[in-house]
C-alpha cells in the first residue's frame, strides 16, 4: 500500500505529536521512577555490604540466590523452596484479589454508570470517600470489623447464621478481604470510565434481536468495556503483588508475600543485592505478563481507529 506524500506527512505529524504529548509524563517518570531503578539494576550485580548497602565488587550471587540457597547445614546448594513458596503465594492471592474486585467492581461500576447523569458523580465520590482515610487506619478498621468480637461475627451470630465466631483474622481470607477492599476503587473507576461511554441503546438493539440478558452481557457489553477491564485488572493485580501492609496487619504477619520478602532484604536481612535482583525479576515477570495481556486484549478489543 503506498501512501501519498500528504498522508505520510500527516502520519509523521501524528507520531511527533504523540511523543510531544507524552514527554512531560516521560520526563517525570525518568527523573523519579524509572531512572533511579537503574541504580537497583546495578546493585543487583554487587556484593552486600556488612550492615546493609553494597560493596562495589561485581557478583552474580544475588541472581543465583533467588533460586538456589546454600543449605545452612550441609553447605550444599539447594533449590530455594522457601522463595518459590513466597512467590507462588503472592501470585495466587493477587489473582484471587483481581477476580474478587472484578466480580464486585463490575456490577458496582455498572450500577453507577446507569444512574441519571447528575447522580453519577455523587456515586463515584461515594466509592472514593472511604479512601480519604489512610491505608493503615483503614486496615485497622477492617481488622475491627472481621475480628472475632467484631461487627461481622456479631451480625452473623445475631442472625443465627453461625453459632460461634469464625476465625477470619490472621488467615489468607483476611488478606484477601483486605486487599479486595483496598484495591476495589482501582477496579471500579476504570470500569466506570469505560462503561460510561457505552451506548445503552445497543442493549435495546440486542434485546430486539431476542438475545437474553447473559448473551447481551457477554456479546455486547464485555467486548466494548474490555479496555476498562484491562486497565482495572492491571491496576489491581500488579500492586497486589507488592502488597506490604495488608499481609502484615490482617494476615498476622505469619506468612510473607513478595513485598515483605524484598523489604526484609533491604531491612533486617541486610542483603541489598538480593533485594535488588528479586525486584528486577518481579519487574521482568510483570512486564512479560503485561505485554502478553495487552497484546491479547488489543486483538479482541474494539478499537475505533
Write each residue from 127 to 156 as x if it is in contact with other proteins (CB under 8 A), else as -, in one continuous string: xxxxxxxxxxxx-xxx-xx-xxx-xx----
Considering only 66, 172, 211, 244, the residue that binds other proteins (CB under 8 A) is: 244
| Binding residues with other proteins: total (CB under 8 A) | 145
Helix (H, G, I), strand (E, B) or coil at 6: helix
Distance, CA of 46 to chain centre: 30
Helix (H, G, I), strand (E, B) or coil at 48: strand
β-bridge partners, 52: 50
Considering only 34, 67, 79, 222, the residue that binds other proteins (CB under 8 A) is: 34
β-bridge partners, 78: 69
Write each residue from 77 to 106 as x if it is in contact with other proteins (CB under 8 A), else as -, in one continuous string: ----xxx-xx----------------xxx-
Q: Is 76 in the site for other proteins (CB under 8 A)?
A: no
Distance, CA of 231 to chain centre: 10
Q: Is 17 in the site for other proteins (CB under 8 A)?
A: yes
Rank residues 99 and 301 by Cβ distance to other proteins and give the closer one. 301
Considering only 114, 218, 219, 292, the residue that binds other proteins (CB under 8 A) is: 114
Q: Is 266 in the site for other proteins (CB under 8 A)?
A: yes
Rank residues 78 and 162 by Cβ distance to other proteins and give the closer one. 78
Q: With CB under 8 A as the contact rule, which of the stretches 1-9, 91-99, 158-166, 187-195 interacts with other proteins?
A: 187-195
Binders of other proteins among residues 194 to 233 (CB under 8 A) are: 194, 196-197, 200, 203-204, 207-208, 213, 217, 224, 227-228, 230-232
Binders of other proteins among residues 157 to 176 (CB under 8 A) are: 170
- Least separation, in Å, of the C-beta of 15 and other proteins? 4
Distance, CA of 170 to chain centre: 22
Q: With CB under 8 A as the contact rule, which of the stretches 1-9, 91-99, 114-122, 157-165 interacts with other proteins?
A: 114-122
Grid cell in block for residue 154:
456479631
Write each residue from 269 to 298 as x if it is in contact with other proteins (CB under 8 A), else as -, in one continuous string: xxxx--xx--x--xx--xx--xx--x----
Considering only 21, 159, 161, 163, the residue that binds other proteins (CB under 8 A) is: 21
Q: Is 235 in the site for other proteins (CB under 8 A)?
A: yes
Enumerate long-range contacts of 230-233, CB under 8 Å, 24 or more apart: 230/293, 230/294, 230/297, 230/301, 231/190, 231/194, 232/101, 232/102, 232/105, 232/186, 232/187, 232/188, 232/189, 232/190, 232/191, 233/98, 233/102, 233/187, 233/293
The region, left, alpha or beta by phi > 0 then psi within -120 to 50, assigned to residue 133 is beta
Q: Is 3 in the site for other proteins (CB under 8 A)?
A: no
Q: How far apart are CA 53 and CA 51, in angstroms?
A: 7
Q: With CB under 8 A as the contact rule, which of the stretches 1-9, 18-26, 91-99, 156-164 interacts with other proteins?
A: 18-26
Q: With CB under 8 A as the contact rule, which of the stretches 1-9, 66-74, 91-99, 158-166 interacts with other proteins?
A: 66-74
- Contact indicator for 136, 245 with CB cutoff of 8 Å: yes
Q: Name the burial class of residue 297, with classes exposed (0-12), middle (13-18) and buried (19+) by CB atoms within 10 angstroms of its CB.
A: middle
Q: How far apart are CA 229 and CA 226, in angstroms?
A: 5
Q: Is 25 in the site for other proteins (CB under 8 A)?
A: yes
Q: How far apart are CA 164 and CA 103, in angstroms?
A: 29
Q: Is 239 in the site for other proteins (CB under 8 A)?
A: yes
Amino acid at each position: 500500500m503506498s501512501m501519498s506524500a500528504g498522508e505520510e506527512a500527516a502520519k509523521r505529524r501524528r507520531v511527533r505529536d504523540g511523543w510531544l504529548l507524552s514527554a512531560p509524563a516521560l520526563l517525570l517518570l525518568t527523573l523519579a521512577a524509572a531512572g533511579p531503578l537503574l541504580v537497583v539494576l546495578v546493585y543487583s550485580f554487587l556484593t552486600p555490604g556488612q550492615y546493609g548497602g553494597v560493596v562495589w565488587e561485581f557478583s552474580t550471587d544475588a541472581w543465583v540466590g533467588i533460586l538456589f540457597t546454600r543449605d545452612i547445614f550441609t553447605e550444599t546448594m539447594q533449590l530455594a523452596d522457601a522463595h518459590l513458596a513466597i512467590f507462588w503465594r503472592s501470585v495466587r492471592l493477587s489473582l484471587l484479589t483481581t477476580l474478587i474486585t472484578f466480580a464486585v467492581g463490575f456490577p458496582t461500576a455498572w450500577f453507577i454508570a446507569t444512574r441519571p447523569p447528575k447522580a453519577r458523580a455523587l456515586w463515584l465520590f461515594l466509592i472514593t470517600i472511604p479512601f480519604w482515610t489512610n491505608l493503615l487506619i483503614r486496615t485497622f478498621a477492617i481488622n475491627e470489623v472481621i475480628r472475632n468480637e467484631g461487627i461481622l461475627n456479631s451480625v452473623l451470630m445475631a442472625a443465627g447464621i453461625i453459632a460461634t465466631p469464625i476465625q477470619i483474622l490472621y488467615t489468607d481470607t483476611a488478606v484477601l478481604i483486605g486487599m479486595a477492599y483496598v484495591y476495589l476503587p482501582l477496579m471500579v473507576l476504570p470500569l466506570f470510565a469505560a462503561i460510561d461511554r457505552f451506548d445503552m441503546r445497543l442493549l435495546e438493539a440486542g434485546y430486539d434481536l431476542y438475545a437474553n440478558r447473559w448473551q447481551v452481557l457477554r456479546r455486547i457489553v464485555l467486548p466494548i468495556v474490555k479496555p476498562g477491564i484491562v486497565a482495572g485488572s492491571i491496576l489491581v493485580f500488579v500492586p497486589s503483588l507488592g502488597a506490604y501492609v495488608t499481609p502484615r496487619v490482617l494476615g498476622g504477619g505469619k506468612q510473607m508475600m513478595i513485598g515483605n520478602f524484598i523489604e526484609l532484604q533491604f531491612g533486617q536481612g541486610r542483603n541489598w543485592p538480593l533485594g535488588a535482583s528479586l525486584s528486577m525479576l518481579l519487574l521482568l515477570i510483570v512486564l512479560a505478563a503485561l505485554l502478553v495481556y495487552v497484546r491479547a486484549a488489543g486483538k479482541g478489543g474494539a478499537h475505533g481507529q
